[in-house]
Chain A
Amino acid sequence: MSMSGAVRRKGWSRKQKRLAIIAGLGLVLALAAALVLTALRDQIVFFYSPTEIAARGVEPGQSIRLGGLVKEGSWTREGQENTFIVTDGASEITAQYRGILPDLFREGQGVVAEGAIGPDGGFTASNVLAKHDENYLPREVVDALKAQGEWRPEGDPS
């Protein structure tokens, strides 16, 4: 204590102390910024509608969010394996999900599924997003439906 204290008293002027603190702060902030930017590049998940997948193609295995309406009459279940078709009116894609679907998963309703396209072109969902309320439709789904001219404000798929 006494030695390091003596060194500090001699060697560290007021200005140097301040500089050391500011340099330390700067370093941490720079590292954090680098971390955030790297994470933003690698960890974000893009949102696609079936039409966008059909038009642009998505790398198999890449993690994406798929959004649209669950096609009427397309949901089948065998044991815990669920199969349903996600459509935006123009294109559709078959999705598979193993497990229990959220309470508000219905045919004709909006859905957002997280997962990846398989080599066969089908979509395997790792997570189907639940909703609090039947009127709630993810904004991305609304936009995608509007883009396809399939949007009906009351969510009534007649």
Chain B
Amino acid sequence: MTIEIGHFSLILASALALVSAFGGLVLWRRGERLAAILAQSALLQFLLVGIAFAALVQAFVVSDFSLALAANNSHSLKPLIYKISGVWGNHEGSLVLWILILVLFGALVAAFGRRLPDDLFNLVQGTQSLLVAAFGAFTLFTSNPFERLTQPPLEGADLNPVLQDIGLAIHPPLLYAGYVGFSICFSFAIAALVSGRIDQAWARWVRPWTMLSWIFLTLGIAMGSYWAYYELGWGGWWFWDPVENASFMPWLAGTALLHSALVMEKRNALKIWTIFLSIITFSLSLLGTFLVRSGVLTSVHTFASDPTRGLVILTMLAVLIGGAFLLFAMRASALRQGGLFAPISREGALILNNLFLATAIGAILVGTLYPLLLDALVGTSISVGAPFFDLTFGALMAPLLLVLPFGPLLPWKRADLVAAGQRLMGAAALAVFLTILISALGGISISLAPVGLLLGFWVLFGSFAEIIERARIGRIPARESVRRLMGLPRSIWATALGHMGLGLTVLGIVSVTAWETELVTTLNPGESAELAGYEITFEDFAQVPGPNYMADTGIFAVTAPGGQVAHLHAERRSYVASGMPTTEAAIETYGLSQLYLQLGEPLADTHVLRVWHKPYILLIWIGTLVMSGAGVLSLTDRRLRFGAPKQARRHSIEAAE
């Protein structure tokens, strides 16, 4: 019964959204009264989709296998958390989660966006509802998650064992929150194009939503990367797989949007470009969610897909994205550009940022779609792998990282490069010194490693130049500097912290790429091997039963160069229901570095063991956490931007406490 209630709720939500879409997009001039209705509708849509989602969760939790979705993807022996996360571990369920987040953002705008002008609010809610109606209908007609089985099986087919992991519980919701959050930017862009209202205020309203989505997407991608790293058992953290690219492109676009919206907000320039980026970012998010499901791209992430569904998805994407760009083409020329500036200025630096990010998106898009295109046109099967992306993306990011520390130091309108350069001398000297030191100590394993290190340290130290400058550290008494530091707006700290996070991630990537060591060997219990100063002893081999699997467990004692001993368990699991094997790598963390153990299939008494030493690999993810933290910090600064001096003073006192 609950399942039918869920089904009915989703139908109702989609119908309601369709009405809202009509109201918002056609009658948007009706002002406040319509706005009040649309706000109610947005909240109601959230409630209804919430009920639909809860019905699915309930069926999974109580193992109601009369629900086809649960029968295909769940198992009564599964731990509770995997029963819940199993709801979105499949195509149909993940769509419902997608829509849930879509309506959540609509409801958030309804709850917190009442300061928006009514016209804009109506159009934003209208566009958002149109998306809900479109994807709701798609779910109901082609991928109904509420389908019942007339003869329910006694036991479910179980969720793909690789997905039975805490990663699935966290990664997709975060990622979807990021993807779908950009729908708000999209809706705002459509609203701006339709109403013709596009000014600095628009950028101020859009930026927090962009920031929020960007934070989620950053965390989602980082989480996915770490999950792939420890769960798939091949020790890699980024594969340039089409799905990864599909999530990375909206991230790059969102990053560009954050920066261009800043120019628009502060200087009323780059309006057309910012609108364009808002549309592009969400279009790439849609591509990210759905291109893979349409079955046209092969990826390790593939959900089982059928061609008819793929056709519907592609048509829908074409109509939505095409429609948005058509509107853009028709209306963009009517928007007035403003704000003149010299090439060397804050604006100029931010344009450079956007240029490199946009070009990088282009390169990744080409690499991802080129095999498809070639196959369709010439019929040759090729794959564009990591070397292509490493080369093009690396070459495009290097100049971006090089100019990045200059950006925050340049004043708006017109700036002096030499003056900014002088303030960065300290950071540059420190970066060069550390790079030489590390290269001398660690040896240069690949020729580009010093360049990468240099760029990483440069960004890391250069990020602080603005703060040091503003607090006049070293030029006035320390106590006075500290007082100034406390008084700095949070947005300044957020900028520095965000860039610092990027520097950390770059350093982690360079370190692992250049100094990772690997060992493949055959071991019997009792024997030892050595890698990077770590001694690995194969202590014992045992068969251990888990809740819904059997595990061949290798127990290893690892002696670190410092002498401390850790016991690691590397497993090969065989799942009861599906018979599928998985590898559970054993990972031990030493500071920021990790030792990664993978156990191979046994042959007679010997076992193949693969061991990696990954120096400073954790910096990659710590950097992303710092970036997300910077985003949160910037969000708390929001009211400062409305420029009320009284609030600002209170704010700085708070910060000092």
Contacts and interface: CB of A to CB of B under 8 A. Distances in A.
Interface of A: 1, 4-5, 8, 12, 14, 17, 20-21, 24-25, 28-29, 32, 35-36, 39-40, 43-47, 65, 77, 79-80, 98-104, 114, 129-136, 138-140, 143
A45 B374 CA distance: 13
Contact of A79 (B300, B342, B599, B608): B608
Contacts of A47: 381-383
Contact of B521 (A80, A102, A140): A80
B388 A80 contact: no
6 contacts: A8-B414, A32-B359, A43-B391, A46-B382, A98-B520, A100-B610
Q: Which of A79, A102, A103 has the most chain B CB atoms inside 10 A of its CB?
A: A103
Contacts of A139: 298
A140 B598 CA distance: 29
A46 to B, nearest CB: 5
A124 B396 CA distance: 33
B522 interface: yes
Contacts of B232: 130
B534 to A, nearest CB: 19
A81 to B, nearest CB: 10
B122 interface: no
B381 A35 contact: no
Interface stretch (B254-262, B310-318, B580-588): B580-588
Given A28-B355, A130-B300, A139-B298, A80 B520 contact: yes
Nearest to B578: A134
B371 to A, nearest CB: 8
Contacts of A40: 366-367, 370, 384, 388
Nearest to B295: A139
Contacts of B355: 25, 28-29
B351 interface: yes
Given A29-B359, A40-B366, A132-B301, A45 B382 contact: yes
B164 to A, nearest CB: 12
B600 A65 contact: no
Nearest to B580: A134
B541 interface: no
B462 to A, nearest CB: 21
A99 B599 CA distance: 10
B298 A140 contact: yes
A30 B377 CA distance: 25
The A interface, classified by DSSP as helix, strand, loop or mixed, is mixed
A79 B606 contact: yes
B348 interface: yes
Given A43-B388, A98-B520, A24 B343 contact: yes
Nearest to A140: B381
A62 B461 CA distance: 42
B522 A80 contact: yes
B302 interface: yes
A42 B93 CA distance: 41
Shortest beta-carbon contacts, A-B, top 5? A47-B381, A100-B600, A43-B388, A1-B416, A43-B387
Contacts of A65: 383
Contacts of B356: 28
B160 to A, nearest CB: 6
B363 A79 contact: no
A45 B383 CA distance: 5
A138 B382 CA distance: 12
B162 interface: yes
B79 interface: no
B557 to A, nearest CB: 21
B392 interface: yes
A31 to B, nearest CB: 9
B421 interface: no
A103 B598 CA distance: 11
Contacts of A80: 520-522, 600, 608
